[in-house]
Amino acid sequence: SSFGKPSGDDDDVWLRPSDPDNLLRWTGLIRGPSGTPYEGGVFQLSIRVGTDYPLAPPTIAFVTKVFHPNVHFGTGEICLDILKKEWSPAWGLQAACRAVLALLSDPDADSPLNGDAGNMVRGGDMAAFRTTARMYTVENAMIIDWPER
């Protein structure tokens, strides 16, 4: 099946069904990438797949509060083309989580869901962006320990 299995865990992405009896809801954890304001953080993702998965993309949202141009601060919704029109059934949940991880390293200020973060990045005020993103990482993403294998 195209659902991620525990053996598919890598060092930066952890995936499990939220409920063993319901493979349409998953919990993901991703590690904040080194060299970013998210470094050292563990971010929880809520992953929902429809009965049309893998033909349709999963719905992935941050549960952990994160300050990022492409993440809605209130809902955790993620603006990422591969979770919308660029989705391919060849992708799995693991790959989708890796794409979210890559987005943390490479914010796209042209399609912001968080206007404040988008304006900072677009305006070239990376110091303000990094400081704010770091503050939220320390406050919200240093709570969960990475699961033991």
Question: What's CA 12's distance to the chain center, in Å?
Answer: 11
CB neighbours of residue 138 within 10 Å: 12
Beta strands (DSSP E) in 2-135 are: 13-19, 22-31, 42-48, 59-62
d(C-alpha 140, C-alpha 42), whole Å? 9
Tokens read off for 7: 């053996």
The backbone torsions φ and ψ at residue 13, rounded to the nearest 5 degrees and listed phi first, read -135, 130
| Residues tagged active-site | 79
